[in-house]
Structure 1
Amino acid sequence: MILGSLARQFFCVALLAFAASAAKAEVLVTYETQGEALFSFSAPDDWQLLTGFEVAPGDMEAGVTPAPRIVSLLPQEDSERIMWTGFWAPQGVEDLDTAWEYLRRVAPRLLEDAEVTFRDQRTINGQDAEVFSGSGIKEGKSVDFAVAAVQVTASRVAFAAFIGEPEAYDRYEDELVGVLYSMTGVEEGR
């Protein structure tokens, strides 16, 4: 009888948790570049989604690799905080080792005085990943950052990044973690 009561309580808590998570509407976003779908993620329905442009490789000068398309995701109701969340998959970043080198090259373009204070290997939806976080300066303000490099295909790494004031991360932590852990590589042939 006690076990039955505990089981019922657990079931009710689980049902409430499921109902609460189901109440937040989401939209599935598929990242595509150069005609190839690479990964998808779920974004909060009430956040603004901005898709960057991309240049066809044939339109570039010889030997120049096009910049990756960047998809940005921002909460619509919060314009007071400095915050940016972005997703991209650059050409030539084939594994997590090259992802680290890539991040070291692009960090000065994203932040001044960027300092990595945490680095950890993870698994996200069965995909190998590495997470980096730290702090830096953006537009003269101290900001935190977190970047995840996710092996979305056998030969391609995608990045998910947050850059913003600590208060912004604290306010949107559940949404940001949810988006990150929804990332999954798109199966070939789809």
Structure 2
Amino acid sequence: MRIQLKTALATCAVVWLGTAALADTPVTYTDAGRPLFSFAVPDFWAVRTGGPREIEDTELGDLRAVARVMGVKPVTDDNVWMGFVSPAGVASIEGGLRYLEDIDRFLVKDPSVSSTSDTRIGGLPARVIRGTGTRDGRGINFTATVIDLPNGRVAVVVAILRDGADPAFVDDLNAVFASFRSAQ
């Protein structure tokens, strides 16, 4: 009886640990009440949303419209961040790349692109740009991705890993990309 109980408890622990590793939280990005895309946020990551707003380019003094940004980051490490946006009026990968050029100075200082590739994310065409730069005076690695959504929209996803971040977070970032799905 005692051996069976220990075996049953060990089995429950293995099942619970296996389930915990897969227990990500689904999040849906909407615009005007219409779902555009979803992705899974890893456990022990925080989600922060912001509404549409305008930000000022301090060098040029002009305002830039920014759609709702959904940011996710680990609760234990401020060195990792991933942001999602679907800017209104941007209908193609090329338009998404122009959008990134327009807002890049708000994300990364002195960017240096190390690679650009075409791929598919969630079954959809995507362009991925990887590189390095600085943010808040610290070195970073970034991945900027434009995903072509149905019905004339795109998703722009930026992942930032500051110098000194735990490299294990790369697996979490890749898992978020792997979970990405169009809601249309």
Q: TM-score, normalised by structure 2?
A: 0.79
Which residue of 2 is the match for residue 163 of structure 1?
Answer: 160
Which residue of 1 is the match for residue 144 of structure 2?
Answer: 147
Which residue of 1 is the match for residue 69 of structure 2?
Answer: 70
- 2:117 aligned to 117, 120, 126, which one? 120
Which residue of 1 is the match for residue 85 of structure 2?
Answer: 88
Is 1:135 aligned to residue 125 of structure 2? no
In 2, distance between residues paired with 1:41 and 1:22?
Answer: 18
Superposition deviation, residue 65 in structure 1? 8.3
Cα contact 1:39–1:185 (8 A) shared by 2: yes
Structure 2 residues not aligned, in runs of 5+: 1-13, 54-62
Cα contact 2:132–2:142 (8 A) shared by 1: yes
Which residue of 1 is the match for residue 8 of structure 2?
Answer: none
Q: TM-score, normalised by structure 1?
A: 0.76
Q: Once the two structures are superposed, what CA deviation does each residue of 1:153-179 show, in whole Å capped at 9, x if it has no partner?
A: 231110111112144262201110010
Structure (1 or 2) with the greater strand fraction: 2
- Alpha-carbon RMSD: 2.2
Which residue of 1 is the match for residue 25 of structure 2?
Answer: 27
In 2, distance between residues paired with 1:104 and 1:39?
Answer: 23
Identity over aligned pairs, percent: 29
In 2, distance between residues paired with 1:22 and 1:49?
Answer: 19
Query: Is the partner of 1:177 in helix, strand or coil?
Result: helix
Structure 1 residues not aligned, in runs of 5+: 1-15, 56-63
Q: Once the two structures are superposed, what CA deviation does each residue of 1:136-164 show, in whole Å capped at 9, x if it has no partner?
A: 11011111100111112231110111112
In 2, distance between residues paired with 1:40 and 1:77?
Answer: 24
Aligned residue pairs total: 160
Superposition deviation, residue 117 in structure 1? 1.4
Q: Structure 1 residues 122, 41: CA separation in 2 closer, same or farther (over 3 Å shift)?
A: same
Superposition deviation, residue 46 in structure 1? 1.5
Q: Structure 1 residues 140, 166: CA separation in 2 closer, same or farther (over 3 Å shift)?
A: closer
Q: Structure 1 residues 23, 142: CA separation in 2 closer, same or farther (over 3 Å shift)?
A: closer
Query: Is the partner of 1:164 in helix, strand or coil?
Result: strand
In 2, distance between residues paired with 1:175 and 1:45?
Answer: 10
Q: Once the two structures are superposed, what CA deviation does each residue of 1:10-44 show, in whole Å capped at 9, x if it has no partner?
A: xxxxxx9xx84763311110001222211000111
Q: Which amino acid aligns with 2:72?
A: L
Q: Once the two structures are superposed, what CA deviation does each residue of 1:98-144 show, in whole Å capped at 9, x if it has no partner?
A: 11111111111211111211100001121001101101110111111
Cα contact 2:80–2:161 (8 A) shared by 1: yes
In 2, distance between residues paired with 1:21 and 1:38?
Answer: 28
Q: Structure 1 residues 25, 136: CA separation in 2 closer, same or farther (over 3 Å shift)?
A: same
Which residue of 2 is the match for residue 186 of structure 1?
Answer: 183
Q: Once the two structures are superposed, what CA deviation does each residue of 1:67-105 show, in whole Å capped at 9, x if it has no partner?
A: 2100010101224xx332111111121111111111111
Q: Structure 1 residues 49, 42: CA separation in 2 closer, same or farther (over 3 Å shift)?
A: same
Which residue of 2 is the match for residue 7 of structure 1?
Answer: none
In 2, distance between residues paired with 1:24 and 1:43?
Answer: 11
